[in-house]
């Protein structure tokens, strides 16, 4: 995944250079990445970066200005309210004007390193949400940081061990929480952080932003909120749609991409819309996405999963775990496959991700509910005792600062390894406004529907995948929404969530597949894949001695789990995901040297003092 790595502190030049090179090599994932390095020994900093070649991060991380200021940046950011993304000169100008306060003017998802040789200081920072992650550790007086944990593991052997509390959180919620990670001695930099380093002094760690700054904003009335959301997205969407090349728009049948399309500037004509699809059939996302694209006079394509994802499942799982440090695993292997197809359309992917979480309080951060027998007897209490403690948070704080950067990070990171990822819903202006929505507004599609009607009426006449259409409260509309809800739940049961007490009805569900009732909403039948196409692979993994040695699982239960799932007596999809993911982490990141393919010397562009 693109990002930055580095070491700050007093160290011998050769040792520090060797460590920074090793960290950079561990990050290098794809042949279409560019990379480079900087070093300023007098300030005690050695660092490097990888980025999609030709991307904004690539261009920004090669920059040194006339005063010797250096900037390494992962992700994308804007200063002020302009449409075009800010160049490195703009960011450094903000630093000159405002000093450390310059971060308050940055918008977007980013992490960065700023080196100021004149002032004799180095600044390490990230975005408000920590969506551009920075993993950190301290080693012999040095501070090491990286966008990927594996970069730290590759040069500090003591880190190559599971963190018991992190694993307990992962097994309970499907993610680690707060600054905790899966790796002993490795922490996440909190969102909105600024760390300042000067030679001979302790690092000064501070936060330039905390959610409380937005939580106290006044609540708006329903009409005022609808108008404000419309005005804000009309400004924000062009910001994220701006590109010098073809723009790829990942479109679905839902409201979040509908709002983007409604606010898309008419001058955006170099865009191609696409929808992800399955091995067979056609989802409502595909059908409705095509209608929406046609109404906007844009091309639409369907990008389908191929059988290769099953025949090469282990390879795709390994790539997923390597690209995400295990934050995504066995039930997310499709992300790299599909986003690689998306890259063939455009290197930039504009998506409606996270709109539902921020604007309509959709939440999936809850206990996974793993079978207790899967867990080693001595570890069950640790998993049971893990508690997120987020119930009393403001719903927007929970979504923007916890759920999205923690639980939903894996899918984001996997996709970002292939394309430049953009969503307007994590723009500062939109998140700030979300705090001003009333409880009713945050649990209703009304504001979204009104926006589409006001900005592009033709799109409001196309029902969403859940049956919503502006101003339509007829009996027919109610029936349409009820039918959509019914088929959505059927799809969920069939593809993922059929409970054990309903397993006897699984043959009935299979009979529905040919009727057109199933496959309207979901196209990734992992539950069935693990039963049939991947059954041999599952047996191979659980009978491997290294899997049975993972201390968190009951070795005796693993074979029972696979046999019961493949026989159709139990649904163990979540348990299988946990086992396969932790096995891959153990094998790829802990048992051997972490890493990716090191770039050849000609691929690395260095900038030295």
Are 224 and 191 members of one domain?
Answer: no
pLDDT digits (tens, 9 = 90+) for 51-67: 998 888 887 777 778 78
Whether 306 is covered by a domain: the verdict is yes
Whether 529 is covered by a domain: the verdict is no
Q: What percent of the chain has pLDDT over 70?
A: 95
pLDDT band at 520 (very low <50, low <70, confident <90, very high): confident
Are 36 and 141 members of one domain?
Answer: yes
Q: What is the CATH number of the domain that holds 197?
A: 3.60.20.10
Residue 607 has pLDDT above 50, yes or no: no
Tokens of 5: 């790595």
Provide the 3-class DSSP secondary structure of residue 194: strand
- CA dihedral over 558, 561, 566, 567, signed as positive or negative: positive
Are 103 and 10 members of one domain?
Answer: yes
Whether 369 is covered by a domain: the verdict is no
Among 162, 188, 212, the domain-final residue is: 212
What's the burial of 591, exposed, middle or buried (CB within 10 Å: 0-12/13-18/19+)? exposed
pLDDT digits (tens, 9 = 90+) for 61-89: 777 787 889 999 999 988 876 556 567 88
Instruction: Give pTM, 2 decimals.
Output: 0.94
Are 208 and 232 members of one domain?
Answer: no
Whether 77 is covered by a domain: the verdict is yes
Are 187 and 271 members of one domain?
Answer: no
Identify the DSSP state of 458.
H
Are 329 and 458 members of one domain?
Answer: yes
pLDDT digits (tens, 9 = 90+) for 90-126: 899 999 999 999 999 999 999 999 999 999 999 999 9
Lowest pLDDT segment from 61-70, 366-375, 392-401, 600-609: 600-609
pLDDT value for 475: 78
Among 185, 212, 239, the domain-final residue is: 212
- Which strands form 121-126's sheet, in the order they lie side by side? 63-64, 70-79, 106-116, 121-126, 193-197, 204-207
pLDDT value for 140: 84
The H-or-E segment that residue 604 falls in is: strand 604-608
pLDDT digits (tens, 9 = 90+) for 138-194: 988 899 999 999 999 999 999 999 999 999 999 999 999 999 999 999 999 999 999
pLDDT value for 388: 85
pLDDT band at 481 (very low <50, low <70, confident <90, very high): confident
Tokens of 606: 């260095």
Dist CA 54 CA 428 (whole Å): 26
Total tally of structural domains belonging to the chain: 2
pLDDT value for 86: 66
Contact 275, 469 (CB under 8 A): no
Q: Please give the mean pLDDT across all residues of the chain.
A: 91
pLDDT band at 539 (very low <50, low <70, confident <90, very high): very high
pLDDT value for 592: 57
Closest CA to 150 of 552, 597, 600: 597
Are 455 and 346 members of one domain?
Answer: yes
**Mean pLDDT confidence for 488-515:** 85
Provide the 3-class DSSP secondary structure of residue 517: coil
Dist CA 332 CA 347 (whole Å): 21
Are 193 and 337 members of one domain?
Answer: no
Contact 176, 162 (CB under 8 A): no
**Mean pLDDT confidence for 504-512:** 82
Among 212, 241, 273, the domain-final residue is: 212
Rg (CA), the chain: 24
Dist CA 562 CA 462 (whole Å): 44
- CA dihedral over 421, 38, 197, 14, signed as positive or negative: positive
Whether 528 is covered by a domain: the verdict is no
Are 153 and 44 members of one domain?
Answer: yes
pLDDT digits (tens, 9 = 90+) for 331-367: 999 999 999 999 999 999 999 999 999 999 999 899 9
11 or 561, greater pLDDT = 561
Are 315 and 220 members of one domain?
Answer: yes
Are 193 and 246 members of one domain?
Answer: no
Are 184 and 245 members of one domain?
Answer: no
Domain that holds residue 8: 3-212
């Amino acid at each position: 995944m693109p990002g930055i790595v580095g070491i700050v502190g007093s160290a011998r030049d050769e040792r520090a250079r060797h460590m920074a090179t090793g960290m950079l090599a561990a990050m290098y994932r794809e042949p279409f990445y560019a990379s480079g390095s900087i070093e300023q020994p007098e300030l005690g900093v050695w660092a490097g970066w990888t980025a999609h070649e030709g991307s904004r991060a690539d261009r920004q991380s090669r920059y040194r200005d006339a005063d010797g200021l250096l900037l390494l940046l992962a992700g994308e950011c804007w200063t002020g309210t302009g449409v075009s993304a800010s160049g490195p000169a703009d960011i450094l100008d903000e630093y000159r004007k405002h000093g450390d306060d310059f971060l308050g003017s940055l918008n977007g998802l980013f992490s960065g390193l700023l080196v100021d040789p004149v002032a004799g200081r180095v600044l390490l920072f990230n975005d408000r949400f920590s969506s551009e992650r920075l993993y950190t550790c301290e080693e012999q007086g040095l501070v090491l940081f990286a966008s990927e944990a594996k970069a730290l593991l590759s040069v500090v052997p003591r880190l190559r061990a599971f963190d018991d509390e992190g694993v307990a959180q992962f097994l309970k919620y499907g993610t680690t929480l707060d600054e905790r990670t899966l790796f002993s001695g490795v922490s996440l930099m909190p969102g909105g952080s600024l760390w300042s380093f000067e030679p001979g002094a302790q690092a000064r760690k501070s936060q330039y932003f905390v959610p409380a700054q937005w939580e106290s904003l006044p609540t708006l009335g329903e009409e005022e909120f609808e108008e404000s959301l419309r005005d804000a997205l009309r400004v924000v969407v062009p910001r994220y749609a701006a590109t010098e090349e073809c723009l790829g728009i990942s479109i679905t049948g839902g409201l979040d991409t509908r709002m983007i399309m409604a606010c898309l500037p008419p001058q955006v004509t170099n865009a191609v819309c696409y929808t992800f699809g399955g091995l067979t059939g056609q989802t409502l996302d595909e059908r409705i996405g095509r209608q929406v694209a046609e109404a906007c006079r844009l091309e639409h394509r369907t990008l389908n999963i191929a059988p290769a994802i099953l025949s090469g499942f282990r390879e795709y799982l390994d790539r997923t775990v390597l690209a995400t440090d295990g934050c995504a695993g066995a039930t997310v292997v499709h992300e790299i496959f599909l986003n690689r197809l998306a890259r063939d359309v455009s290197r930039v992917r504009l998506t409606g991700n996270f709109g539902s979480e921020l604007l309509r309080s959709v939440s999936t951060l809850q206990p996974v509910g793993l079978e207790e027998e899967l867990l080693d007897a001595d570890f069950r209490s640790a998993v049971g005792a893990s508690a997120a403690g987020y119930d009393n948070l403001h719903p927007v704080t929970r979504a923007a600062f916890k759920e999205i950067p923690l639980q939903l990070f894996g899918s984001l990171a996997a996709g970002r390894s292939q394309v430049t990822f953009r969503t307007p819903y994590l723009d500062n202006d939109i998140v700030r406004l979300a705090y001003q929505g009333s409880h009713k507004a945050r649990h209703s599609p009304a504001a979204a529907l009104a926006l589409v009607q006001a900005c592009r009426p033709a799109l409001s006449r196309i029902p969403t995948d859940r049956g919503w259409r502006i101003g339509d409260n007829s009996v027919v509309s109610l029936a349409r929404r009820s039918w959509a809800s019914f088929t959505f739940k059927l799809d969920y049961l069939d593809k993922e969530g059929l409970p054990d007490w309903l397993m006897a009805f699984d043959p009935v569900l299979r009979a529905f597949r040919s009727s057109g009732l199933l496959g309207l909403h979901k196209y990734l039948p992992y539950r069935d894949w693990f039963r049939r196409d991947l059954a041999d692979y599952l047996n191979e993994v659980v009978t491997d001695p290294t899997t049975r040695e993972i201390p968190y699982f009951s070795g005796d239960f693993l074979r029972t789990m696979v046999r019961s799932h493949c026989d159709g007596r139990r649904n163990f999809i979540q348990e299988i995901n946990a086992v396969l993911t932790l096995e891959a982490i153990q094998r790829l990141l802990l048992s051997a040297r972490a890493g990716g393919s090191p770039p050849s010397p000609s691929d690395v562009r260095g900038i030295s003092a």
